[in-house]
Amino acid sequence: MTSIAVIETITLLIIVLLWGVNPTNNDTRKALKTLFSFICLLGVFLHYFYLLTIPTQKEIYPFFIVERMNYSVVYPDIGQLLILLLITDYAISKRSRRDARGEATINQNSLSTGSEQSDVSSNK
């Protein structure tokens, strides 16, 4: 159990470090995005693969794991957190693409308005 916890912790640290990187080169950004998604999916796979091998003394619920020993401990499911990170990253990238398209439309409109104004001034 300790080794899988170490792997999950390292995976989460790498994800957090990669998530904060904002390179200017578009190819680098795509490569980091692919690496980020791969690490998240690998973490989810390893986590749930390990969960399938848990002894029967633990009960697995949808969003947390309850350990039955001398006391009960409830902690968040790392796999669920990784899936939420993937969904959040997808939503952020979709929003940034939409914002970029909006800026391009605004710039195009301002250029066309500027050319119309120059046409009006040249006609006078």
Helix (H, G, I), strand (E, B) or coil at 69: coil
Q: Is residue 99 assigned to a domain?
A: yes
Write out pLDDT tens, residues 21-46: 666 667 777 777 777 777 777 777 77
Q: Is residue 123 assigned to a domain?
A: no
Low-confidence ranges of the chain (pLDDT < 70): 1-8, 15-25, 47-80, 97-124
- Number of domain units in the chain: 1
- Host H or E run for residue 60: strand 58-60
Q: CA-CA distance, 95 to 93, in Å (whole number)?
A: 5
The residue segments making up the domain with residue 81 are: 2-117
Helix (H, G, I), strand (E, B) or coil at 113: helix
